[in-house]
A = this chain, B = another copy of it.
Amino acid sequence: MLAQEGSRGLTHRAVDAAAEVPTGTTSNYFRSRRALLEGLVERIGERLAPSEEDLRRRESAEPGPPLFADYVRDIVRRLMADRDVTLALFELRLEAARRPEVAAVLGAWQRAGFDADVAFNTAAGLPGGRREIALFHYAIDGLLLDRLTAPIDPDSSTDDAIDALVAGLLR
């Protein structure tokens, strides 16, 4: 709904209709708009998480820039494949610029995700610290926004862009 209608379309009643459940069901499970938003970002997190198999397969790999690039390509692949979820996240970010209650829920979730990324990277012995990982977040968000909307350079390869980012930004 967020991807297709934008954040203004997100109401308890619209969720009832989209999920084909009786009117009032969504309000029953998520009492407030804040609770609905929290349920939403939690579910987005689940849908975008790497699979157990994805993680296991990489556990034995050498922790260097190629493995880091491999993780980034995998993240981008998941976000591009789950196009509506990624667009929904962008919708929520813009809604956060308008509504402090959305900024509170989304901001807390995003900062926790960012801290977890930094911790994962350190635990896995991968290159790049907090500063570099922040740069990757910005660049990958911008790359996805470009590729999923109106690309500035449609004939260029997404993988080449990722490789160039890894080559340049990973110290």
A15 contacts the other chain (Cβ, under 8 Å)? no
B93 touches A145 (CB 8 A): yes
A169 touches B161 (CB 8 A): no
A148 contacts the other chain (Cβ, under 8 Å)? yes
Say whether chain A's binding surface is mostly helix, strand, loop, or mixed. Answer: helix
Cα of A114 to Cα of B171 in the assembled complex, Å: 28
Q: Which B residue's beta carbon lies closest to that of A134?
A: B153
Question: A169 is contacted by which of B3, B145, B153, B168 (Cβ under 8 Å)?
Answer: B168
Task: Tell me the A126-171 residues at the B interface (CB within 8 Å).
Answer: 130-132, 134-135, 137-143, 145-146, 148-153, 156, 160-161, 164-165, 168-169, 171
When distances are taken between beta carbons in the complex, the residues of chain B under 8 Å from A114 are 152-153
A96 contacts the other chain (Cβ, under 8 Å)? yes
Copies of chain A in the complex: 2
A6 contacts the other chain (Cβ, under 8 Å)? yes
Cα of A98 to Cα of B91 in the assembled complex, Å: 12
Size band of the interface chain A makes with B = 35 or more
A1-31 CB contact bits vs B (8 Å, 1 = yes)? Answer: 0011111110000000000000000000000
B87 touches A152 (CB 8 A): no
When distances are taken between beta carbons in the complex, the residues of chain B under 8 Å from A152 are 110-111, 113-114, 134, 137
When distances are taken between beta carbons in the complex, the residues of chain B under 8 Å from A68 are none
A159 to chain B, nearest CB (A): 13
13 A-B pairs in the complex with CB atoms less than 8 angstroms apart:
A6-B98, A8-B8, A93-B145, A110-B150, A130-B153, A131-B156, A134-B152, A134-B156, A138-B139, A138-B143, A138-B146, A164-B169, A168-B168
